A = this chain, B = another copy of it.
């Protein structure tokens, strides 16, 4: 049905109806511009929509100091600070199992710096592993677009090597040996649960 505004201008719907909320950039053939976080979020949305898993990114922790309450509109946070997270960024549920992971990327070509992780994140994943949860990290070498799933016990081995005076990074070759390369797909982008299933279930 067409109808016209009183000014004679034809009504045009602002955007075509969509079956589900898909960001247009996800449809582009190339993904060079997307961050690891966006790729993982898109993947988790896919898992959720397909009833494969319930995995969410935790919100960024923020220390709120000052909030204003303007009349008739939403509360505005006027002063806040970023807090260091005490856990990993992602957790959830897959086939009855608790899944917990952190995702990091580097522009290095030959190694992955361990400074990307914090002591308390390592402690957290240790506790998760001890309680029979599934803990791992997703490591992306952004210049070559390679993503690896490294199970937490392997990460811990390299972390402990650093703590006892060894190198402060993991060689790419070591990641290739002890991690599992994840194929980058279209939908979902990073099907990491396929690897989780093979490794842990």
Contact = CB atoms under 8 A, between A and B. Distances in A.
Copies held by the complex: 2
A96 B56 contact: no
A46 to B, nearest CB: 14
A156 interface: no
Given A56-B87, A131-B96, A132-B96, A78 B78 contact: yes
Contacts of A131: 51, 53-54, 93-96
Contacts of A78: 78-79
Given A48-B127, A51-B130, A130-B51, A98 B98 contact: yes
A128 interface: yes
Q: Taking each of A64, A79, A128, A131, which has the highest tally of chain B beta carbons within 10 Å of its own beta carbon?
A: A131
A86 B56 contact: yes
Interface stretch (A12-20, A69-77, A108-116, A183-191): A69-77
Contact of A98 (B93, B127, B130): B93
Contact of A76 (B76, B79, B87): B79
Nearest to A67: B82
A127 B87 CA distance: 23
A90 B127 CA distance: 17
Contact of A75 (B53, B61, B82, B86): B82
Given A93-B128, A93-B132, 13 more contacts: A54-B131, A59-B62, A74-B81, A75-B81, A76-B80, A77-B77, A78-B78, A80-B80, A91-B92, A93-B100, A93-B133, A96-B133, A98-B98
Interface of A: 48, 51, 53-54, 56, 58-62, 64, 74-83, 85-87, 91-98, 100, 124, 127-128, 130-133
